[in-house]
């Protein structure tokens, strides 16, 4: 039995089935479109998150590079303070020595907090990754390749080489 539409027309069952099928097809198409948009949104959010992480990584690296450059600028001052301490010890200027040693300790603690550590050299064997040999000294008192004097202290920054130690290395006497 045909049903009536709002306008009072009779609607055939086949027309209703056809209309339902059209609506179901349209609904399916809208669901698929919605699914595509949802997937695009998920990918966009993932890309945004990846971009944020990449920017954070780059900012951290830039900060570390800046910190490392500043520390490299401070190392010659550390060297000069060490020379001042040695000179004050030789000349017996105890008041100057106390003041310079105090400044040196503060600077060393600051560098240590930032991840800077001195490279141990004297009495160790030469390591080309940590030391730069400036002279080979012939001696039978030390084994070949042992560092016998450090001319300039080297440093690591968070476990990576910041500045190599300048050293004199023992060599076997010729003859």
Could you give all domains of the chain from N- to C-terminal order, each with its CATH number? 118-175 (2.30.22.10)
Residues 35-73: tens digit of each pLDDT? 999 999 999 999 999 999 999 999 999 999 999 999 999
Give the predicted TM-score (pTM) of the model.
0.69
Beta strands in 58-175 (DSSP E): 116-118, 131-138, 147-152, 155-157, 160-163, 165-171
Under a CB-based contact definition with an 8 Å cutoff, are residues 127 and 147 in contact? no
Q: What pLDDT, on a 0 to 100 scale, did the predictor assign at position 2?
A: 53
Q: Are strands 131-138 and 165-171 parallel, antiparallel or unpaired?
A: parallel
Q: Which stretches of the chain drop beneath a pLDDT of 50?
A: none
| Cα–Cα–Cα angle for 56, 61, 66, rounded to 5 degrees | 125
41: left (phi > 0), else alpha (psi -120 to 50), else beta?
A: alpha
Q: What pLDDT, on a 0 to 100 scale, did the predictor assign at position 3?
A: 56
Rounded (to 5) percent helix, strand, coil in the chain: 55, 20, 20
Q: What pLDDT, on a 0 to 100 scale, did the predictor assign at position 9?
A: 65
Q: What pLDDT, on a 0 to 100 scale, did the predictor assign at position 139?
A: 86
């Amino acid at each position: 039995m045909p049903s009536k539409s709002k306008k009072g027309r009779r609607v055939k069952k086949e027309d209703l089935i056809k209309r339902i099928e059209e609506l179901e097809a349209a609904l399916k198409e809208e669901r698929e479109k919605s699914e595509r948009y949802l997937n695009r949104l998920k990918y966009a959010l993932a890309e945004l998150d990846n971009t944020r992480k990449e920017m954070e990584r780059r900012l951290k690296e830039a900060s570390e590079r800046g910190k490392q450059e500043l520390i490299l600028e401070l190392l010659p001052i550390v060297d000069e303070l060490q020379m001042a301490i040695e000179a004050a010890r030789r000349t017996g200027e105890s008041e100057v020595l106390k003041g310079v040693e105090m400044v040196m300790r503060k600077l060393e603690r600051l560098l240590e907090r930032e991840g800077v550590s001195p490279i141990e050299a004297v009495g160790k064997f030469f390591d080309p990754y940590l030391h730069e040999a400036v002279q080979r000294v012939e001696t039978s008192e030390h084994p070949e390749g042992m560092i016998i004097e450090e001319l300039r202290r080297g440093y690591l920054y968070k476990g990576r080489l910041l500045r190599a130690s300048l050293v004199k290395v023992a060599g076997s006497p010729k003859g």
